Amino acid sequence: MEMAVNLEADVAVRRLILGLTLSLIAIAQEDDARWSVDFLVGYYDQTGDHSAVTGGVGTEDLQSASPIVDIKFNPDSAWSHSAHLGFDNVTSASIDAMDHVSGASRVDTRAFLDVTSVRDLGKSRISGILGFSTEYDYFSAHGGLSYAMDFNQKNTTAIVGLTHYADTVDLYDIEGVNQGDTNRDTTDLTFALTQVLGRKTVVTGEFFISDQSGFLSSPFQEVEFQDGTITAERLPDARTRTALTLKLNHAYSDRFIVRHSLRHYDDDFDIQAETIELEPYIKIGSKQGSWFSLTLRYHIQDGSPYFFLPSEANLDDDFYTADRDLSTFDSYRVSIAYKAPSNHRYMDRYKVRLSYYKRDEGLNSMTLSLGFGWSRQ
Average pLDDT over residues 178-203: 94
Is the pLDDT reported for residue 271 higher than 50? yes
Instruction: Find the helix or strand (DSSP H, E) in which 21 lies.
Output: helix 2-28
Task: Report the pLDDT value the prediction gives residue 5, as an integer from 0 to 100.
Answer: 41
What 3-state class would DSSP assign to 255? coil
pLDDT tier at 89, thresholds 50, 70, 90: confident
Is the pLDDT reported for residue 20 higher than 70? no
Task: Report the pLDDT value the prediction gives residue 46, as an integer from 0 to 100.
Answer: 95
Q: From 152, 120, 135, select the one nearest 66 (Cα to Cα).
A: 135
Residue 114 CB-density burial (10 A; 0-12 exposed, 13-18 middle, 19+ buried): middle
Give the C-alpha separation, 175 to 167, whole Å: 23
Task: Report the pLDDT value the prediction gives residue 76, as an integer from 0 to 100.
Answer: 82
Is the pLDDT higher at 24 or at 307?
307
Instruction: Find the helix or strand (DSSP H, E) in which 242 lies.
Output: strand 238-253
Identity at 17, one-letter amino acid code: I
Task: Report the pLDDT value the prediction gives residue 3, as an integer from 0 to 100.
Answer: 40
Give the C-alpha separation, 330 to 328, whole Å: 7
Give the C-alpha separation, 136 to 166, whole Å: 16
pLDDT tier at 29, thresholds 50, 70, 90: low
| Nearest-5° Cα angle at 112, 128 to 5 | 130
CA dihedral 18, 23, 29, 30 (to 10 degrees): 180
What 3-state class would DSSP assign to 33? coil
Residues 6+ apart with CB under 8 A from 241: 208, 209, 210, 212, 265, 266, 267
Task: Report the pLDDT value the prediction gives residue 321, as an integer from 0 to 100.
Answer: 95
Among 14-28, 121-135, 218-232, 244-258, where is mean pLDDT lowest? 14-28
Question: How is domain 2-376 classified at the CATH fold level?
Answer: Porin (2.40.160)
Average pLDDT over residues 324-348: 92
Parallel, antiparallel or unpaired: strands 62-74 and 79-92: antiparallel
Average pLDDT over residues 109-127: 94
Average pLDDT over residues 13-25: 57
Domain boundaries, the chain: 2-376
Q: Across the chain, what does the average pLDDT equal?
A: 88
Cα torsion angle, 74, 75, 81, 87, sign: negative
pLDDT tier at 15, thresholds 50, 70, 90: low
Average pLDDT over residues 279-293: 87
Q: From 368, 303, 364, select the one nearest 47 (Cα to Cα).
A: 364
CB 89 within 8 A of CB 107: yes
Average pLDDT over residues 132-139: 90
Is the pLDDT higher at 370 or at 50?
370
Express each pLDDT in 227-260 by its tens digit.
Answer: 889 999 999 999 999 999 999 999 999 899 999 9
